[in-house]
A and B are shown apart, each in its own frame.
Chain A
Amino acid sequence: MIFVLLLLTPLLAAATAALVKPYRAWVGWLCAALSFAPLGAALWLSARVLEGEVLTWGPGEFLRADGLSALLVLCVSFVAALAAWLGPGLAVEDGYDAAERRSYRVFSNLFAFTMLLAVTAHNVGVMWVAVEATTITSAMLIPLHITKASVEASWKYILIGSVGIALAFVGTVLAYFDFVNLAGEQASALNWTSLLHSAPVLHDEVLKLAFVFVLIGYGTKAGLAPMHTWLPDAHSESPSALSAMMSGVLLAVAIYAILRWKIVVDAAVGPAFTNRLLIALGLLSLAIAAFTLIGQRNYKRMLAYSSIEHTGLTCLGLALGPLGIFAAMLHLVNHTVTKSMMFLLAGRVQQRYRSTEIAEVPGLVRTMPVTAGFFAAGMFAIAGLPPFGLFISEFALVRAGFAAGRGWLMGVVLVLLVVAFIALVTHLNRMLYGDPPAPIPVGERQLWALAPAGLCVVILVILGLTLPSPVSRLLNKIVEIAAP
């Protein structure tokens, strides 16, 4: 039932939107309303997982949800709901025509479906298929408005994304090869639990090779350097609601895939190997993102690079033992909430100023004071200031690093974080203050659209000041899974 609600409602919404032609506003409202179903299912699922259950469904345990899946399901359904409520198609005037609205409704729901499938699929092959499908569905949405830039971004995205994900499939095939050769042929061979179960007997060199391919592949989707290149383009050129989904949860889903594989490989060859690779890629992402942020001129790209930075951090966290995995997962949740809010707010700014250049949007505090306030709060959050959740998770992450005896690594990380911080705050101030260009109207419009942003800020502050017990229990479950 949970899985039906979770997976079928987005499909239903997509089907409705596809069948009703031309687009009608009620479809948008219906989709928005339906977006609560997966969210509710996710909450229900999490509650049951917290009670110690592992939910499965379908022939051969086709779907399976443990603590890790539950967390991701929550994140995905939350951001999907956010995007459903704030995406094109609800407001009377949002700059999109009927065809574009329809295609948004169809593909955003499909996108949500594929992500939900990716994090609940039991079979790592199916997980791969779902992640590959996210590329296809999201690529359709990037050029919602066809411009040279959006076509360029989408081509780069789909090509890099497809090639990357194909490499992840190589990794999957190699692992299967290993399994078949050492544990015998089974129908359930690619099921994650059977992989994990027989990991100790698997051949470690082959598994290492497999992990390299998997890491490169899913790392491409996660935006890890040096495969991150599609990310700033795609995030800056797509509609803000899609950017929110991509930056908020698509990266998280890819991290999820990497973590799943890391658990298997660790069980076979010990964590030292995967940790080394993750640290290398994480640090590289962090460094490239931090330094690129310095000279950034476009605020959506700035947010995109900040996503790369945070993916890098999460990746580093995964390599820092149980404490690090806890911190990384907390970070992932915080980043999901923050970044999806930030892209939605950036969309508002873009709609008002008709520009994504930082230099062309000064004076936000005067033209849109409430948006500016939320935007500033979000920027402080992604820069890692209290009282927001990212501060606590970065803090926990650095602590895990020191506890793991990687003091020098954490020193470098701290320096890079400071660089990113300075860059972000400087850019923020250029946007917030100064004189707005003359023709820009002053005053907030559609204040209701900011309510979700307010909700996000509240969540962030709550996560920054306390760690609610369900969250910490869920995270501890993940740590149990990931670092037994």
Chain B
Amino acid sequence: MGTLVTGAIVCYLAGALAALLGNDRWGRILGAWGAASGAAISLALGMVALASGSVFSAVFDFPSLTGFALRIDGLSAPFLILTGLVGAASAVYGAGYSAAYTGVYSLRKLGALFNLLLLTLTLQVMADNALTFLLLWEAMSLVAYLLVLTEHREPATIRAANWYIAITHVGFAALLAMFFLLSAGDLSAAFDTLRANAPVLTQRNAIFILALLGFSAKAGLIPLHVWLPMAHPVAPSHVSALLSGVVIKMGVYGFCRIVLDLMGGGSAWWGGLTLALGVASALFGVLYALMEHDLKRLLAYHSVENIGIIFIGIGAGLMFQSYGLMSLAALGFVAALYHTINHACFKGLLFLGAGSVLHATGTRNMEEMGGLIKRMPRTALMFLIGAASISALPPLNGFASEWLIFQTLLGGSHIPEPAVALMIPIAVALLALTGGLAMACFVKAFGITFLAIPRSHAAEQAHESPFSMQAGMGILGLACIGLGLTPFFVVPVLGRALAGLDRLAWETTVFSLTLPLNTPATFGSMSSPLLAAGLLILLGLIPLALWVIGANRRTRVGDTWGCGRIAQTPRMQYTATAFAEPLRRVFAELYRPTKDLSIDFHPESKYFVQSIEYQSEIHPWFEKLLYQPLIGIFHRIADRVRWIQAGWLGLYLTYMLVGLIALLVLAWWTP
């Protein structure tokens, strides 16, 4: 295993070096190869760790304050796998995609940073003491920040980068404090020591809150999600895939590592709070996604949603754990981990697909797309697979993990306190609503982008993307299908990954081709391979049946029916805005859209209208209710503080006099 770790590090570094030193073409390609092979090794590493169950551990003699310790255990493995999977796919994709930057932005920087990001991500999940963890964490944030800044000529990029680094730094500060409390000041203590000491710590609740704050800033849990829909769209698409697929998962990883592993769970309210935040993120994420017409922003909001779903699983697990329902807890954690991997795959795929669309049309605005399925059929197919997966449609991977999360939540009836237990059905209902809305949203995303008639010249001129980009998408598309068809395999493997957390009593059940869950709470079964096979057989049987009954097989191509009008123009189609309008009305209370209607009448008579202008916008109210006041407070304080330096010498000397007197008085009072 040590060889593999070294191999991955060497590959990434070589890739970074090649990207830095090479010319635009070879640097790009070699850098991508470095990243792809490094990622492949990471993937292998994760699989080996899961398969063998062995633990890799290394302490490097790092002359800074203390040692630099790495260790791979069951909990690291799933994250290594998803890093490898998404990393390899985006690297391959990026080889083609970044060619478009030649001569505009620095390809060297992009290629090198991409490799470095993968390197930090790979090492992050191996960190075995607080110091290593924090250093890598900050390095990862910094590299990701620089990657977000790639297209730095756009003002939106700068704004997004500012928000990203600000929120991520808030999170870092919280984590720093958290680790100091957890480790009682000794950051170089191995996680094993922390694990042993955690039960007797006095400030466990403070540690939990700080961990939640720190990791939710990275994961993009509401209300710290605001950077996500800003930063993910402006990054290059293969970087967006990595950001949305892997970087935010580090928040999940960190949370699991600290709260589940090191702290070993805690009070019921920990789980309740996590669950509530998860539900809120899931719901608000998808609601704002629905209203979005920027394809990549839409996907970014869906990341908020899916992170919410993951945290629902973790929160439910924590709750069950606090009531001693260990197998239910384990189910929740497994479901969350499963969804984490799944989300990495389909969100990576969708971002890559959106990148191809952006590559082909030069816009992210869905209202200017349409008809792309004919111009870029492979991209469309891949995007469709991603869309179906994220909408949790059977038999793809999103469905498998959401099904598990539902099953976990059904166990809520076993919580002895009715008041707490009643939270669970509400969570179930809102999760189901989220699922339905996600489906609606991806009908919109796919339908408006790829179907019908092109809405702009750019969309008409679109072209299929180069092979490397298709290959990148293909890897993740296959992963989505593969993970969807094999829950009977994935779940026990993840269960074994969690078995390392020794405070979880994971009851090994017998898994066959189906996935029957036999927890004390519920019994349910699902078999996605059989389901898939059934659906395929039916799809074959139906045409066969038509042939048997002798149905008319002729098809005539004609115009779309148009109530008698002659020509059909793109303007007659439903737009993305129109598509989401019913849901906007339904949730108007939450969206609180602004309306601005101005009608110009004919100067002669007010019965003739010359033009009507209608504007309606939705401002996410987190920004209005939470961030704007917060920023306002800081700015007000800053304004006051600024006047300390009023430019007036007499005042300055008065400060000195007053300061002197104050300190003299203070000295008096000090014993």
Chains A and B share a contact (CB less than 8 Å): yes
Contact B142 A380 (CB under 8 A): yes
Contact B161 A156 (CB under 8 A): no
The 8 Å CB contact of A467, one of B64, B153, B660, is B64
Contact B637 A291 (CB under 8 A): yes
Contact A429 B162 (CB under 8 A): yes
The residue of chain B having its C-beta at the shortest distance from the C-beta of A383 within the complex is B169
Contact A433 B153 (CB under 8 A): yes
What is the total of A-B residue contacts with beta carbons within 8 Å? 153
Contact B177 A414 (CB under 8 A): yes
Contact A215 B663 (CB under 8 A): yes
- 4 A-B pairs with least C-beta separation: A403-B185, A294-B638, A402-B180, A229-B652
The 8 Å CB contact of B667, one of A209, A365, A421, is A209
Chain A 276-312: CB-based contact to B (< 8 A → 1; otherwise 0): 1100100000011001101100000000000000000
With a 10 A CB-CB cut-off, give which of B177, B637, B666 has the most chain A CB atoms. B177
* B149 cross-chain contacts in A, Cβ below 8 A: 429, 433
* B658 cross-chain contacts in A, Cβ below 8 A: 226
At the interface, yes or no: B393 with Cβ under 8 Å from chain A?
A: no
Known: A220-B656, A229-B652. A398 touches B176 (CB 8 A): yes
Contact B653 A402 (CB under 8 A): no
At the interface, yes or no: A395 with Cβ under 8 Å from chain B?
A: yes
* B666 cross-chain contacts in A, Cβ below 8 A: 212, 276-277, 280
* A434 cross-chain contacts in B, Cβ below 8 A: 155, 158
List the interface of chain B (C-beta within 8 A of A).
Answer: 62-65, 134-135, 138-139, 142, 149, 152-153, 155, 157-158, 161-162, 165-166, 169-170, 173, 176-177, 180-181, 184-185, 187, 634-635, 637-639, 641-642, 644-645, 649, 652-653, 655-656, 658-660, 663-664, 666-667, 670
Kindly state the separation between the CA atoms of A419 and B642 in the bound complex, as whole angstroms: 15
Give 15 new A-B contacts, CB below 8 A, not counting A167-B656, A215-B663, A294-B635: A156-B652, A160-B649, A216-B656, A226-B658, A227-B659, A292-B642, A386-B138, A418-B173, A419-B634, A426-B166, A429-B149, A432-B152, A433-B152, A464-B64, A467-B63
* B64 cross-chain contacts in A, Cβ below 8 A: 392, 464-467
The 8 Å CB contact of B659, one of A216, A294, A417, A468, is A216
The 8 Å CB contact of A425, one of B65, B165, B634, B641, is B165
* B142 cross-chain contacts in A, Cβ below 8 A: 380, 385-386
* B634 cross-chain contacts in A, Cβ below 8 A: 291, 294, 419
Contact A395 B637 (CB under 8 A): no
Least CB distance, A317 to chain B, in whole angstroms:
15
List the interface of chain A (C-beta within 8 A of B).
Answer: 155-156, 159-160, 163-164, 167, 208-209, 211-213, 215-216, 220, 226-227, 229-230, 232, 272-273, 276-277, 280, 287-288, 291-292, 294-295, 365, 380, 385-387, 391-392, 395-396, 398-399, 402-403, 407, 410-411, 414-415, 417-419, 421-422, 425-426, 429-430, 432-434, 464-469
Contact A276 B670 (CB under 8 A): yes
* B181 cross-chain contacts in A, Cβ below 8 A: 402, 407
Contact A212 B173 (CB under 8 A): no
* B659 cross-chain contacts in A, Cβ below 8 A: 216, 226-227
Least CB distance, B390 to chain A, in whole angstroms:
33
* A294 cross-chain contacts in B, Cβ below 8 A: 634-635, 638
Known: A167-B660, A403-B185, A407-B181. A273 touches B670 (CB 8 A): yes
The 8 Å CB contact of B656, one of A160, A288, A466, is A160
With a 10 A CB-CB cut-off, give which of A156, A386, A415 has the most chain B CB atoms. A386
Kindly state the separation between the CA atoms of A277 and B142 in the bound complex, as whole angstroms: 36
* A425 cross-chain contacts in B, Cβ below 8 A: 162, 165-166
Least CB distance, B566 to chain A, in whole angstroms:
48
Contact A291 B649 (CB under 8 A): no
Known: A156-B652, A386-B135. A410 touches B638 (CB 8 A): no
Least CB distance, B519 to chain A, in whole angstroms:
41
Least CB distance, B52 to chain A, in whole angstroms:
33
Kindly state the separation between the CA atoms of A292 and B637 in the bound complex, as whole angstroms: 9
* A277 cross-chain contacts in B, Cβ below 8 A: 663, 666-667
15 contacts between A and B (CB under 8 A): A212-B667, A226-B656, A227-B656, A229-B644, A232-B645, A291-B637, A386-B135, A396-B65, A398-B176, A407-B181, A414-B177, A418-B169, A418-B173, A426-B162, A465-B64
